[in-house]
A and B are shown apart, each in its own frame.
Chain A
Amino acid sequence: MSQLQEVSVDQYRHLVSERALTGETMLLNMGPQHPSTHGVLRLLLELDGETVISCIPDVGFLHTGVEKNMEAKTYQKAEVMTDRLDYMNTMGNNLAYVMAVEKLVDLDVPVRAQALRVILSELQRIASHLVWLGTSGLDLAAMSMFLYCFREREQILDIFELVSGQRMMTTYIRPGGVWRDVPVEFEKAVRDFIKIFPRRIDEYETLLTNNPLFLDRMLGIGKLDAATALSHSVTGPMLRASGVNWDLRKARPYMGYEQYDFNVPVHTEGDTYARYLVRVQELRESLKIVEQALNKLPLGPVRSDNRKFVPPPRSEIGTSMEALIHHFKLWTEGFPAPKASIYSAVESPRGELGVFLEGDGGPKPYRVHMRTPSFDNLSPLSKMVKGHLVADLVAILASTDIVLGDIDR
């Protein structure tokens, strides 16, 4: 166990202003245990009274060694690690990793599985935005938002539990398809949600969108212009709130996103309120995608029948010798992937979730790198908070929608 260290101002000499060295401004530590840092983020603030002069984020308190650990597992088994990276977006993480594996070994996915992946990852996007809305409401003292948002989130988690048996760490999306077909109750559960949810979004908007207290805290706070955002590789709703129309679902459609009709909300102000608006509008757009995908959910298999990469269905193992051998080989050895590298990215609720995957011809990945959006979305924080009050820092941090598991990996 490493020891707690005393921090001296000398260590941060190059990051703080001259006045901190003379003691004219105050250095204040915020976190890693703090109610509004959304996890274990530590911020070192240089304050002049209530005004933030500079902000030095310190991450890594949740460093999990996921990338190293994945190198020690086969391609299928490494997938359980991806769930636990960005724990608000488990389905989306599965999807990103599985798509990378499929690209590396060149594996096709049946259309039904593609549609199911779209439905589930969009539901996950809604769930993730709900947690964001609830917790950022809580940060701005809107306690009821938290209670309302978690009520709807439970409904989505129930759907996940229905299809995968787990509320959060689903590992439902597997290489070559999904784990198994959805149960018959699935359609009704999703339809119930589609029916009830638009009114619930209206309810949230009544509470927040035109609420003068909320507007006072959000309007014009934490501005980020498009050029800075791009240079910091900011993606997702944060980039779209700064006026750049960039959504991987539209730009490089995957899993049949091109068939669905949806808009990408873009705002140009680049402040925390614009980020709020983008995310709330995305709730409606995601719901549109879920509805369309459910309406034309095709019938058919949910797993590829390429037995070199995808285990055979349980029913076949009892009757077919070959199926038994394939099953045994896949779960003891895994499947080999070519000695090459690929990069594949999906649009997660936070931005571009990319997976860099390099194989060495064996059944284990040689190197996995998760390009996680929160890591880059946090990096311009020090520029966004400069000159704002400490209370605004909380609003700005909430609007970036960071997940520490996503940053620290």
Chain B
Amino acid sequence: MGVEQKLGNMGVVTTTLENVVNWGRTNAMWPMLFGLACCAIEMMSAQSSSYDMSRFGMELMRASPRQSDLMIVAGRVSRKMAPVLRRLYDQMPEPKWVIAMGDCASCGGVFNNYAILQGVDEVVPVDVYVAGCPPRPEALIHGVMTLYEKVKADKFVPTQEK
């Protein structure tokens, strides 16, 4: 099972630091317990017995931004909430990721009016957008898996253009 099969006779595994660190990051990514609207209920469903997001090392929803790696913006962001959201993002330690869950967080959804921000990417940088109003828990889990792919492909060496 798992890593023991790859040990060989020496009890040593060779890999790159990138692989190990990214593997660690993806397997214990703690989302922030932060629900805004309808999507938050589906996020709770994803955590609950039928879907069980803890299969992916995400059973801990941290209530404090200081202890979380992932912000799932679950729901519509009003103009009153936007500065609060940005402050929460700023309080999260690096490295941090953002999933815009649902149509409202991604692009404003059905609410195209004075009160709702047309996409949370105007306030925080978004890594993965999950479509749906609200997205099914499976869709959220797919979004998380997509984020994992992105994290696993992270390079430590800065690229040329940076």
Contacts and interface: CB of A to CB of B under 8 A. Distances in A.
A35 interface: yes
Interface in B16-36: 32-36
Interface string A217-230: 00000000000000
Contacts of A168: 38, 41-42, 134
A210 interface: no
A147 interface: yes
A135 to B, nearest CB: 8
A146 interface: yes
Contact of B80 (A60, A66, A87, A131): A60
Nearest to A37: B35
A254 interface: no
A13 interface: no
A360 B36 CA distance: 35
Given A4-B83, A69-B113, A150-B48, A131 B41 contact: yes
A35 B79 contact: no
Interface of B: 32-38, 40-42, 44-45, 48-50, 63, 65, 75-76, 78-84, 87-88, 110-117, 122-123, 133-134, 136
A157 B76 CA distance: 22
Contacts of B83: 1-4
Contacts of B76: 62, 64, 84
7 interchain residue pairs of minimum CB distance: A150-B48, A65-B115, A87-B38, A65-B113, A4-B83, A35-B63, A61-B81
B80 A64 contact: no
Nearest to A31: B84
A151 to B, nearest CB: 5
27 contacts: A2-B82, A4-B83, A33-B32, A33-B34, A33-B65, A33-B84, A35-B33, A39-B35, A39-B37, A60-B78, A62-B36, A62-B37, A62-B76, A65-B111, A65-B115, A66-B111, A69-B111, A84-B37, A87-B37, A88-B41, A146-B48, A150-B44, A168-B38, A169-B38, A404-B37, A405-B37, A408-B78
Interface in A1-30: 1-4
B81 A32 contact: yes
A307 interface: no
A169 B80 CA distance: 24
B87 A4 contact: yes
B interface majority secondary structure:
loop
A34 B33 CA distance: 8
A39 B87 CA distance: 17
Nearest to B40: A39
Given A88-B41, A150-B48, A405-B38, 10 more contacts: A33-B34, A34-B63, A39-B35, A39-B37, A61-B78, A64-B116, A80-B110, A153-B45, A154-B45, A167-B42
A239 interface: no
Contacts of A157: 45
B8 to A, nearest CB: 42
A308 interface: no
Contact of B48 (A4, A39, A147, A405): A147
A217 B109 CA distance: 40
Nearest to B134: A168
B115 A61 contact: no
Given A1-B83, A80-B110, A88-B41, A40 B36 contact: yes
Nearest to B133: A169
Contacts of A63: 78, 80, 115
A2 B81 CA distance: 9
A81 interface: yes
B88 A64 contact: no
A126 B111 CA distance: 28
A38 B71 CA distance: 17
